[in-house]
Amino acid sequence: MKATELDTKNAGYFARAAALDARMRNIAMASRYADAQKIQAERMKLGLDMVYASKGIYINFRLKFITLKIENPQVRDRKTLALLEQDYEKAGITKQVTAQGVIYRIKKA
């Protein structure tokens, strides 16, 4: 799976306010998605949790896509990760690498 690299910075001093804003946007955007896509995101989270050792995996609903962010990832099982990423690529899911972690994007149906 191809991974693009993003040059994003953390919120720094305003991290708490950014987290509260992201939480409220996430709640508002989740209502725009069908249950099938929410379940798909939850299943992806479980699969990624098996192959990555991380600080946390977060599902974030946005206007045009759902993201799964893996914070401080370390790969535990490379073979299974390669198999999962093959399936994700067939499904049109993209991967992006940032300084904060790895992000998978599911396009809105």
Helix (H, G, I), strand (E, B) or coil at 102: strand
The predicted structure's pLDDT at residue 15: 79
How many independent structural domains does the chain possess?
Answer: 1
| Placement of tokens 């709640």 in the chain | 27
How far apart CA 37 and CA 10 sit, in angstroms, is 28
Structure tokens at 55: 């600080």
Q: What is the pTM of this model?
A: 0.83
16: containing domain: 3-107
The predicted structure's pLDDT at residue 10: 65
CA angle 64-65-68, nearest 5°? 155
Structure tokens at 84: 């999962």
pLDDT digits (tens, 9 = 90+) for 14-47: 778 888 888 899 999 999 999 999 999 999 999 9
Q: By the 8 A CB rule, do 72 and 55 touch?
A: yes
